[in-house]
Structure 1
């Protein structure tokens, strides 16, 4: 992991991805096809950021400044004629400065956030690992072939953020937390409220 990423492509989306998580994307806009070609040619990734306002397509979107640096791990031509990629989260980053290029692609300078502590799941939060196991059995999620350490508070929390039906602002708040145990406490409270 590098501490600073100068001039890195930014990809605002209506979803979040965290380290170790995988996200399938369909690319059709020229700016993102060019970004993909550049990333493949230069063997580097891009940053996924949650949209604050606006849409994934077109322009004029605003986005949060904490997101995840991802790398492309697979790509293929889809049946609908679009290019499909799978990106995997590497580490969380903070965007220090960003700008819009003439082609409409967002670029920025990013700083890697400290990697979170590797805490074990407390017994009082073991139910969360069971919830995650059930979610990973869904065919769409199962196809992503994510590897999860179910004893890790960090990994269980990260995957639950991605997979639970939480509103976008809540997912962003959870992504921004740096304490895995605090995140699990918040996730448990949210699950309790859903029941």
Structure 2
């Protein structure tokens, strides 16, 4: 029997967030997903420390251009001579769930994805930290997995069980599992599957959880077909 529970209902309303600190990364965080980070840049050490202390989220956004680690660019005309950074307008709130500082200038954190948000305005502050005014987006409507997509939920359950038995603790999706919910199943497959950054971003931005799961099923089918050739 799968560790399953009804998926939580999304909030009824969206709302604005002022001065949301951003963390541009070469990945896409999905709601409910887990993200492990090692923090050593000055611009993020203070930010993560404050978020952990205050229990407030920061925003994870996918990098379109630039590097996760700030780099000097002698040809750059702005940003104090650093290489430009461009990132997606839609991201996911992240809350620190585990925190350690094994040495000075290093933090090791585990975060969980929350609501999605859309950036309205952004500005770059001291040491290169990005801050945005944003609007949170509504969560997925609870949508039961239809019969033709149940094999995707069953396959995910087997993968998660294998992770629980054989993998490190940090590789396991957090309980409870919502294997009867389209959005949750689609998001956990997106956590697991290797795909181009733009493809993950497009799936995360989709408001229709059933369509998201159908697209994930198409990707899995192509992957299985390619492996079997």
- TM-score norm. by structure 1 comes to 0.92
* Higher CA-based Rg: 2
Deviation at 1:115, TM superposition (A): 1.6
Change in Cα spacing, 1:87 to 1:169, as seen in structure 2 (3 Å) is same
Structure 1 residues 64, 108: CA separation in 2 closer, same or farther (over 3 Å shift)? same
Separation in structure 2 between the aligned mates of residue 190 and residue 141 of structure 1, nearest angstrom: 27
1:49 to 58, 61, 80: 61
Contact 1:135/1:163 (<8 A) preserved? no
Where in structure 2 are the equivalents of 1:14-25 lying within 5 Å? 14-25=26-37
Shift in Å at residue 141 of structure 1?
Answer: 6.6
CA distance in 2: counterparts of 1:55 and 1:88, whole angstroms: 23
Which structure 2 segments of 5+ residues have no match?
1-10, 72-83, 225-229
What is residue 12 of structure 1 aligned with on the other side?
A: 24
Map of 2:91 onto structure 1: 67
What RMSD over aligned residues (CA atoms) do the two structures have, in Å? Answer: 2.0
1:77 aligns with 2:101: yes
- Name stretches of at least 5 consecutive residues in structure 1 with no aligned partner: none
Corresponding residue for residue 146 of structure 1: 174
Contact 1:135 1:141 in 2 (8 A): no
Specify the SS of the correspondent of 1:90.
strand
Aligned length: 195
Q: Cα–Cα, structure 1 residues 191 and 84, in superposed 2: closer, same or farther, change >3 Å?
A: same
Specify the SS of the correspondent of 1:57.
coil
Alignment deviations for residues 70-115 of structure 1 (CA, whole Å, 9 cap, x no partner): 1111112359x83210111111111111111022101101101112
For residues 101 and 155 of structure 1, the distance between their equivalents in structure 2, rounded to whole angstroms, comes to 35
Deviation at 1:51, TM superposition (A): 0.9
Q: C-alpha separation between the residues in 2 aligned to 1:141 and 1:191? A: 25
The one-character-per-residue Cα deviations of 1:136-189 (angstroms, maximum 9, x if unpaired) are 233147544512211111111111111111111110010000101000111111
> Counterparts of 1:142 and 1:72 in 2: how far apart (Å)?
14
What is the CA deviation profile of residues 58-78 of structure 1, one whole-angstrom value per residue up to 9, with x for unaligned ones?
152211011101111111235
Q: Secondary structure at the match of 1:165?
A: coil
Who is 2:196 aligned against? 167
Match of 1:30 among 32, 42, 60: 42
Q: Contact 1:18/1:175 (CA < 8 Å) preserved in 2? A: yes
